[in-house]
Amino acid sequence: MTDIWSVDDHLADVLASVRPLEPIELSLPEAQGCVLVEDVTVPAPLPPFDNSSMDGYAVRTADVDGAGPEYPAVLTVVGDVAAGSAEPPTVAPGQAARIMTGAPLPPGAEAVVPVEWTDGGAGGGPADAMTAHAADPSGAGGEVRVHRAVRAGQYVRRRGSDVGAGTLALRAGTVLGPPQLGLLAAIGRGSVPVRPRPRVVVMSTGSELVPPGEELGPGRIHDSNSYVLAAAARDAGGQVYRVGAVADDADSLRAAVDDQLVRADVLVTSGGVSVGAYDVVKEALGGAGAGPGEEPMAWGGGVEFRRLAMQPGKPQGFGLVGPDRVPLLALPGNPVSAYVSFELFVRPVIRALMGCADVNRPRVRAVVRLGDAGPLASPEGKRQFLRGAYRPPSVPGGTGEVRPVGGAGSHLIAALAQADSLIVVPESRTRVDDGDELDVVPLG
């Protein structure tokens, strides 16, 4: 295959064979980050009953009308209403009940006076706080002096004032973040139908690779790609299984892929996709490595290896493997190439499996700042992805700025760790000058 694919055509081709995963019912903690597949309506009003927004005294407003520091209203305290109280005492004329934040407003009461507007029952000046229940387990009694009047409904959170019964709480398609999970819990939903997190198997290849934490021998390097890709996949919403480095041997690689298929919704490999004599991903998965009498594509459609008009990330493999036709993306081994390829192709696949409406990261326009460096060269006919440090606009609606970090080399791991964005240099550009405006992809 000598055709050169554009970035957009390759992405479109990959996404064309990815379908969202079947929905399942998941408990709220498990559903975090997942996409809801059904509208959820509120079954009962929230709050479910009128309750106090302050620690204080539940009163009848007529009893505290005209009250002031000089002439406090003196009320008989009939008891405590704690949060969770099932049978609060009735407040009759001339009476008050000591009430806690979130406790139901007792029958007869119309408003709450914060404890700071009273003597707290101690007979002195304004109280700072209530006497702790532990210090006086019998609860409140005696009298309270109220120094200020309250309107009906003051410091009362009305039943249904947050959301009424029958209201749409969350629309199908919502990604369940912390506040959405909080709402579901508040309305009593313990589980929801969502598309599950895709199971992403990440595998690096290369006989030179040694796990971090182990001593390097001559010619060996530490495996960093499987850590970057696993972290990026988790960040994208996947449930990740990181497989350590597999040696440059076609049989070992096929066996490793075969082993992993059972727990994969998508499989990602790094390395071995170029034109070298030891580039075994291509050999093992492309069908070229099948022995005599073997089906070259015994795992399904096989993996097709392509060259893309991009830098970094030129060599890419993609196919559907195994009886379940699991999408497999074979990324180039150079660390920057692997990460950029993940961002451009694997992340959208994970988001598509999750059922997200928009699978691509948002882009912004930014002015390139080169400082003292001269113009940058960009390869003709290739979309280049430079690593950048992005500064958002200082005024709303303005244009941000971006500074390239490190050079174009796809082995520059240290510079990548300083970057927070990708600068997109279009295929038509062969140079970038200071002050040029380009697309930037923030990697948040």
Ligand X SMILES: Nc1nc2c(c(=O)[nH]1)N[C@H]1C(S)=C(S)[C@@H](COP(=O)(O)OP(=O)(O)OC[C@H]3O[C@@H](n4cnc5c(N)ncnc54)[C@H](O)[C@@H]3O)O[C@H]1N2
What is the binding site for ligand X (CB under 6 A)?
204, 206, 208-209, 221, 223-226, 270-276, 279, 312, 314-315, 332-335, 337, 410
Only segment of 27-35, 185-193, 312-320, 416-424 that touches ligand MOO (CB under 6 A): 312-320
What is the C-alpha to C-alpha distance for residues 206 and 249, in angstroms, rounded to an integer?
9
Judged by beta carbon distances under 5 to 8 A according to partner kind, the member of ligand MOO, ligand X, none in contact with residue 95 is none
For ligand X, the closer CB: 135 or 277:
277
Out of 56, 89, 312, 404, name the contact with ligand MOO by CB under 6 A.
312
Least Å distance, CB 333 to ligand X, is 3
Least distance in Å: CB of 316 to ligand MOO?
Answer: 9
**Residue number with CB closer to ligand MOO (95 or 316):** 316
Closest separation in Å from C-beta 255 to ligand X: 19
CA-wise closest residue to 264 among 288, 287, 302, 233 = 233
Sign of CA dihedral 158, 161, 163, 167: positive
- DSSP assignment of 270-302, as one string? ES--SSSTT-HHHHHHSSTT--TTS-TTTTEEE
User: CB under 5 to 8 A by kind: which of ligand MOO, ligand X, none does 223 bind?
Assistant: ligand X
Q: Using CB atoms, what's the residue nearest to ligand X?
A: 333
Site residues (CB under 6 A) for ligand MOO, limited to 326-385: 332, 334, 337
Q: Rounded to the nearest whole angstrom, what is the least distance from the CB of residue 341 to ligand X in the complex?
A: 9
Which CB sits closer to ligand MOO, 59 or 425?
Answer: 425
- The Cα–Cα gap between 251 and 290 comes to 10
- Measure the CA–CA gap between 404 and 440, rounded to whole angstroms: 11
Residue (208 or 420) nearer to ligand X, CB? 208
Q: How many residues lie near ligand MOO (CB under 6 A)? A: 8
> What residues from 379 to 418 belong to the interface with ligand MOO (CB under 6 A)?
410
**How far apart are the C-alpha atoms of 304 and 204, rounded to whole Å?**
18
Instruction: List C-alpha distances in Å: 320 to 266, 298, 330.
Output: 9, 11, 11
- Which residue's CB is nearer to ligand X, number 114 or number 272? 272
- With CA atoms as reference, report the closest residue to 350 among 29, 33, 7: 33
Residue 225, contacted partner among ligand X, ligand MOO, none, CB below 5-8 A by kind = ligand X
- d(CA 50, CA 18) in angstroms, rounded, equals 49
Among 79, 313, 327, 388, binds ligand MOO (CB under 6 A): 313
Please tell me the distance from the alpha carbon of residue 390 to that of residue 441, in angstroms, as a whole number.
9
Range 34-67 burial, b when 16+ CB lie within 10 A, else e:
bbbbeebebeebbbeebbbebbbbbbbbebbeeb
Min separation Cβ 205 and ligand X, Å: 6
Alpha helices by DSSP H, listed for 103-262, are 178-186, 225-236, 250-260
Q: Which residue has the tokens 């609606």?
A: 397
Euclidean distance between CA atoms 382 and 427, whole angstroms: 4
Closest distance to ligand X from the beta carbon of 10 (Å): 15
Among 157, 314, 347, 383, binds ligand MOO (CB under 6 A): 314
Question: What does the alpha-carbon distance between residue 373 and residue 210 come to, in Å, rounded to a whole number?
Answer: 37
Stretch in the footprint of ligand MOO (CB under 6 A) among 25-33, 241-249, 306-314, 318-326: 306-314
Would you count residue 311 as binding ligand MOO (CB under 6 A)?
Answer: yes
Residue 272 within binding range of ligand MOO, rule CB under 6 A: no
Structure tokens, 256: 């490793």
Query: For the chain, what is the largest distance between any 2 Cα atoms, rounded to a whole number of angstroms?
Result: 103
With respect to ligand MOO, which residue has the nearer C-beta, 313 or 319? 313
175 or 240: whose CB is closer to ligand X? 240
Which parts of this chain interact with ligand MOO (CB under 6 A)?
A: 311-314, 332, 334, 337, 410
